[in-house]
Structure 1
Amino acid sequence: MKATLILLKQVDRLAGRLAASLLPRPVPRQTNVPPKSILVIRPGGIGDAALLAPALHALQRSYPGVSIDILAERRNAGAFALCPGLRSVSRYDVPAEFFPVLRSSYDVVIDTEQWHRLSAVVARIVRAGIKIGFATNERRRLFTHPIPYEQDDYEADSFMRLLTPLGIRGEGEAECSFLAVPARDAELVDQLLGGLKGRRFVALFPGASIAERRWGAERFASLAALLVQRGIGVVVVGGESERAAGRTVEAAGGLSLCGRTGLAATAAVIGRSALLVSGDSGILHIAVGLGIPTVSLFGPGRAKKWAPRNGCHTVINKELPCSPCTTFGYTPKCPENARCMADITEHEVENAVLEKISHV
């Protein structure tokens, strides 16, 4: 999957930029007829997919009975299982799923990608009277309605802004819960939790797509030991790439489910927890979408854009002069070994967890 992602970015830099510059601009088409079919394009990671859910709900509320198709990627398609009411989810890095979408027609196409151009090219090619997307580079030429994008706006609000050409406004209207776990995955969790079933526990996610955003398996293990000493159960969640970190935390007294659950079942585990501790990650946004309190660790990432809001969540951020350093998803290699993350101590996180769960 990583090799496919690198290839897509290389194609975007070359073919995407060229196509975005050469394709003719679409002809704006005004209509007062409510759309019956909408294609929403969402490449990228799990976090973007999760925070897109409030905008999808707004479309469903505004246009009852509308058919919404999602064009995602293999790495984030599973997140849309947590968004009820969608007609279909296809993946553009799976040709057998991509080409039927390319040949389809819609009333509206909404490209939610923030920077890369290939998705904008797809939006331009797919037949639709209204084409909406972010105007961050040459991609603005390919939409009937290009929308400004700001680096310091909360991402769910940025996605909601894409709906303004349709007369839908909802920026700043935070939903306490905007994701739902399928029933079959909720039932599976009871078996996985074993002796922790019915007990209060804290979920830990030690992973991150970028090394600079990781707090470290040893620190998570130390945190787990501190919590276990206080009689609080600990469950580590994650995929195959978090198995080693899960074993480290398990040795400190936690239960590791890393690599044993798909994304929906992982969401079900988080949904049973009292709280999630995570760095800046897609799993963090899954917890937010489920209405679960979080303690999040920020450093390289843009807290204004990605950190959870409202009193249910605690954000730990050292706010060093060099952070945040991430722009449009790119984090440069840190010459100080991600000091913004390393300076966060286990006791600091423990105190935040204890303060938060005392109110749960």
Structure 2
Amino acid sequence: MQANHLKRFDSLAGPLLVRLLPRRNKPAAAMAPGSALIIRPGGIGDAVLLIPMLRALQSAYPSCRIDILAEHRNAAAFEMCPGLHAVHRYDEPGELRAVLKKRYDLVIDTEQWYRLSALVARLVRARRSIGFATNERKRLFSDAVPYDLKEYEPYSFLRLLAPLGIEAPADLAVPFLELPAAARERATQLLARLGDRPFVAIFPGASVPAKEWGGVKYRQLAASLVLAGCAVVVLGGKGDEDVADAIARATGGVNLAGATTLAESAAVIEAAMALVTGDSGLLHIAAGLGTATVSLFGPSDPAKWAPKGERHRVFASTLPCAPCAKWGTIPPCEHQGSCIDADPAEVAKTLLQLLTELYGG
């Protein structure tokens, strides 16, 4: 079932289904889990930002067998978190049925708002369950955890471990992603034509039009980078090939859109001096690898989703209605197309200043 169909079904049937199931009671005593199921529906970005929590759980319980219940669209992100036992897909009925037949000591639903994953967590045979207390879904967990719309998302996910006595670190350890050796080897092959030239990676894609900056603006940015002596590598999926090709042709850059897996794209980002993109899964991958970023935000709240630290710069929309996205939904708006109003010349200037600070003149 596609993501928008899942959301529509959730909004129509979710509240009623939640009320039909009995409440989850608290366990009699806390015990170290020997097995855990972590539920993570949604996109790539959420999956990537969940990985610090998974690493903290692995560190606290080294012998715990951790399974993931993800979706087709984000399952590949968990290739960058070694040590997981298995990754199942939430939107594949056969795999979901297989998970529901198993027993776990612990289930953690990491979905922030929608109810279907909470229903799945309630149906899983587990001694203890943890999830966010954002609506009526809270009655389905033995431990319901508060959620803060202004808290950087990795810390929100780490908050789910509080009922287990695991405290969130003051600062995220970076890098928190680990790439497969084969992905790095493939990236090296794809980048061979650049020789030793330093490069900036650009990802012009977006999940919705409101998060797009536009191919013309990315081309203007890329041209400024080339004039400053930087090579440009453009990343993207199959749907980004035309825009990526136009950027690469105009600047003599390398177009890898549609040519890489998620892990291979991550390996290219790891090799880059910086990544420029909107609020996207690749942005969060760059943050998780320690690669510098310049990010362009429209409807999303940078406080919640933008990378933090001295290696990152953020352009937030100046529209009076921004940010407007909440719980993964952008409300109907009179503005057509992109909400990102950053000037390409200013973005280029900021990026070049950042590169000078990090790498010298």
Secondary structure in 1 aligned to 2:156?
Answer: helix
User: Is the partner of 2:87 in helix, strand or coil?
Assistant: strand
Task: Name the TM-score, length of structure 1 as normaliser.
Answer: 0.96
Structure 1: segments with no counterpart, 5+ residues: none
C-alpha separation in 2, matches of 1:181 and 1:187: 10
Residue by residue, what CA displacement relative to the aligned partner does 1:118-146 show, whole Å, maximum 9, x if unpaired? 00000000011110001111101100001
Give, in angstroms, the shift of residue 191 of structure 1: 1.5
Structure 1 residue aligned with 2:349: 351
1:110 partnered with 2:97: no
CA distance in 1, matches of 2:160, 2:233: 37
Q: State the 1:39 CA deviation.
A: 0.4
Counterpart of 1:198 in structure 2 is 196
Which aligned segments of 4 or more residues in structure 1 are displaced greater than 6 angstroms? none
Tell me, in whole angstroms, the C-alpha distance in 2 between the residues paired with 1:62 and 1:120.
24
Letter in 2 for 1:78: A
Contact kept, 8 Å, 2:132 with 2:138, in 1: the verdict is yes
Is 1:159 equivalent to 2:164 in the alignment?
no
Q: Is the 8 A contact 1:236 1:257 kept in 2?
A: yes
Which deviates more, 91-100 or 270-279? Answer: 91-100
Distance in 1 (CA, whole Å) between partners of 2:332 and 2:31 is: 49
Query: Matched residues in 2 for 1:15 and 1:324: separation?
Result: 28
Displacement of 1:302 in angstroms is 0.7
Shift of 1:151: 1.0
Pairing 1:247-262 to 2, within 5 Å after superposition: 247-253=245-251, 254-262=253-261
Aligned to 1:10: 8
The equivalent residue for 1:179 is: 177
Instruction: Tell me the amino acid that sits aligned with residue 295 of structure 1.
Output: V
Counterpart Cα distance in 1 of 2:199 and 2:52: 28
- 1:44-55 aligned within 5 A: 44-55=42-53
What is the aligned length?
Answer: 357
Structure 2 unaligned residues grouped into runs of 5+: none
Contact 1:212 1:334 in 2 (8 A): no
Counterpart CA distance in 2 for 1:256 and 1:352 is 24
2:237 equivalent in structure 1: 239
What's 2:328 paired with? 329
CA contact (8 A) 1:222 1:252 kept: no
Letter in structure 1 aligned against 2:300 = G
What is residue 292 of structure 1 aligned with on the other side?
291
Counterpart residue number, 2:312 = 313
Give the AA of the match of 2:204: P
Match of 1:303 in 2: 302
Q: Aligned partners of 1:105 and 1:55: how far apart in 2?
A: 22
Once residues 19 and 336 of structure 1 are traced to their aligned partners in structure 2, the CA distance between those partners, rounded to angstroms, is 36
Q: Measure the CA separation in 2 of the matches of 1:94 and 1:220.
A: 37
User: CA, structure 1 residues 63+206, in 2 after alignment: closer, same or farther (shift >3 Å)?
Assistant: same
Is 1:64 the counterpart of 2:88? The answer is no
TM-superposed CA distance for 1:197, in Å, is: 3.9
172 and 321 in structure 1: CA distance in 2 versus 1, 3 angstrom threshold: farther
8 A contact 2:39–2:70 mirrored in 1: yes
Query: Which residue number in structure 2 is paired with residue 28 of structure 1?
Result: 26
1:14 CA drift (Å): 2.7
Within 2, Cα distance between the matches of 1:280 and 1:244?
Answer: 20
Q: Which residue of 2 aligns with 1:272?
A: 271
**Deviation of the 1:340 alpha carbon:** 4.4
- Give, as a single letter, the amino acid of the residue that structure 1 aligns with 2:98: P
How far apart, CA to CA, are the structure 2 residues paired with 1:221 and 1:210?
A: 20
Give the partner amino acid of 1:76. N
Contact map agreement 1:157 1:172 (CA 8 A) in 2 = no
**Residue 229 of structure 1 aligns with which residue?**
227
Q: Deviations over 1:206-247 (max 9, x none)?
A: 011111111111111111111112221000111111111111
1:329 deviates by: 0.8
Distance 1:333 1:207 in 2: 21
Q: C-alpha displacement at 1:352, in angstroms?
A: 1.3
Q: What is the match of residue 99 of structure 1? A: 97
Q: Deviations over 1:92-129 (max 9, x none)?
A: 11122211111111111000001110000000000111
Seen in structure 2, the aligned counterparts of structure 1 residues 35 and 259 have a Cα distance that, compared at 3 Å, is same
1:339, distance to aligned residue in structure 2 (A): 6.7
Q: CA offset at residue 248 of structure 1?
A: 1.4
Identical amino acids, percent of aligned pairs: 50
